[in-house]
């Protein structure tokens, strides 16, 4: 998952942040999967309150564009049969 800052019209730019983190993927160090194998990604401007940044994708304080990149996609993705999970807005 990658996010771009849309406040700077195309070409969009990756969001600069103090973590120098621009993507969450299966190669993200220390990524934490849930017990059931699912993955929660925190897409937010503020650093997580608990300080756990492994699954945090820093976002600008404003509109963003998100992209799910696939490399060597499966047949389901190529044929349009795969739909990524829906995003859930969580407010504390």
Terminal CA-to-CA distance of the chain, rounded, Å?
23
CB 55 within 8 Å of CB 62: no
CB 23 within 8 Å of CB 1: yes
Residue 27: what pLDDT? 85
Residue 77: what pLDDT? 94
Look at the chain and report how many structural domains it folds into: 1
Percent of the chain with pLDDT over 70: 92
Q: What is the CATH number of the domain that holds 24?
A: 2.60.120
pLDDT tens by residue, 46-70: 999 888 899 999 988 888 888 888 8
CB 28 within 8 Å of CB 39: no
14-27 mean pLDDT? 84
Residue 75: what pLDDT? 97
pLDDT tens by residue, 27-38: 888 999 999 998
The answer to whether residue 82 scores a pLDDT higher than 90 is yes
d(CA 16, CA 19): 9
Tell me the residue range of the domain where 19 lies: 1-92
């Amino acid at each position: 998952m990658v996010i771009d800052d849309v406040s700077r019209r195309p070409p969009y730019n990756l969001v600069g942040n103090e973590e120098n983190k621009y993507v969450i993927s299966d190669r993200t160090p220390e990524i934490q999967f849930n017990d059931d194998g699912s993955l929660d990604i925190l897409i937010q401007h503020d650093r997580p309150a608990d300080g756990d940044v492994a699954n945090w994708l820093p976002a600008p304080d404003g509109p963003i564009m998100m992209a799910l990149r696939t490399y060597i996609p499966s047949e389901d993705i190529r044929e349009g049969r795969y739909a990524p999970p829906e995003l859930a807005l969580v407010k504390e």
